[in-house]
Amino acid sequence: MHFSKEIKDYMGFSGRDAECLNGLHPIVRPYFEEIVDHFYSSLKQNPRTKDVFTGPEQLERLGKSLHRWLDEVFTGPFDEEYFRKRQHVGRVHVDVGLQPQFMFGAMNIIRIDLTRAVFKEEERLEELQVNPRDCVESIERILDLELTIMTQAYWDKLMEMKLEIPSALAAGLAHEIRNPLNTMGLQLTLLDRRIRDVAKVDDTAEERISPIVDALRSELERIRTLTSEIMDFAKPIEVSPAWHDAGELLGELERVHGPTLETSQITFETELEGDAPIWCDIDRMRQVLVNLLTNAVEAIDDEGTIRVCVDNAEYGTTLTVEDSGEGMAPALKYRIFDLFFTTKAAGTGIGLPIIKKIVEAHGGSIDVSSQPGKGSKFSVFLPRPELRD
Q: What is the pLDDT of residue 250?
A: 94
The answer to whether residues 206 and 336 belong to one domain is no
Full domain range(s) for residue 297: 242-387
The answer to whether residues 223 and 308 belong to one domain is no
CATH of the domain at 49: 1.10.490.10
pLDDT band at 310 (very low <50, low <70, confident <90, very high): very high
Q: Taking residues 187-199, report their average pLDDT.
A: 80
pLDDT digits (tens, 9 = 90+) for 246-291: 999 999 999 988 888 888 889 999 999 988 999 999 999 998 999 8
Other C-beta atoms lying within 10 Å of the C-beta of residue 385:
11
Q: What is the pLDDT of residue 389?
A: 47
pLDDT digits (tens, 9 = 90+) for 315-357: 789 999 999 988 888 778 777 887 776 766 566 677 888 899 8
Q: What is the pLDDT of residue 102?
A: 72
Which of 164, 182, 214 delimits the end of a domain? Answer: 164
Q: Taking residues 102-110, report their average pLDDT.
A: 81
The answer to whether residues 71 and 46 belong to one domain is yes
State pTM to two decimals: 0.54
Q: Are 249 and 312 in contact (CB under 8 A)?
A: no
The answer to whether residues 22 and 143 belong to one domain is yes
* Sequence-ordered list of residues with C-beta below 8 angstroms from that of 170, at least 6 positions apart, any chain: 230, 233, 234, 339, 340
The answer to whether residues 8 and 153 belong to one domain is yes
Which of 207, 234, 261 delimits the end of a domain? Answer: 234
Q: Which of 12-26, 50-64, 346-360 has the lowest mean pLDDT?
A: 50-64
202 pLDDT above the threshold of 90: no
The answer to whether residues 72 and 177 belong to one domain is no
Q: Of 80, 72, 77, which Cα lies nearest the Cα of 1?
A: 80
Supply the mean pLDDT for the chain. 82
Say how far apart CA 114 and CA 74 lie, in whole Å.
11
The answer to whether residues 146 and 208 belong to one domain is no
Q: Taking residues 367-377, report their average pLDDT.
A: 89
The answer to whether residues 60 and 105 belong to one domain is yes
Q: Which of 16-25, 44-53, 365-374 has the lowest mean pLDDT?
A: 44-53
The answer to whether residues 135 and 63 belong to one domain is yes
Structural domain count of the chain: 3
CATH of the domain at 294: 3.30.565.10
Other C-beta atoms lying within 10 Å of the C-beta of residue 71:
12
Which of 143, 164, 185 delimits the end of a domain? Answer: 164
The answer to whether residues 172 and 160 belong to one domain is no
The answer to whether residues 303 and 268 belong to one domain is yes
Q: What is the pLDDT of residue 164?
A: 65
Q: Are 150 and 104 in contact (CB under 8 A)?
A: no
Residue 191 zone, left/alpha/beta (φ > 0; ψ -120 to 50; rest): alpha
The answer to whether residues 115 and 179 belong to one domain is no
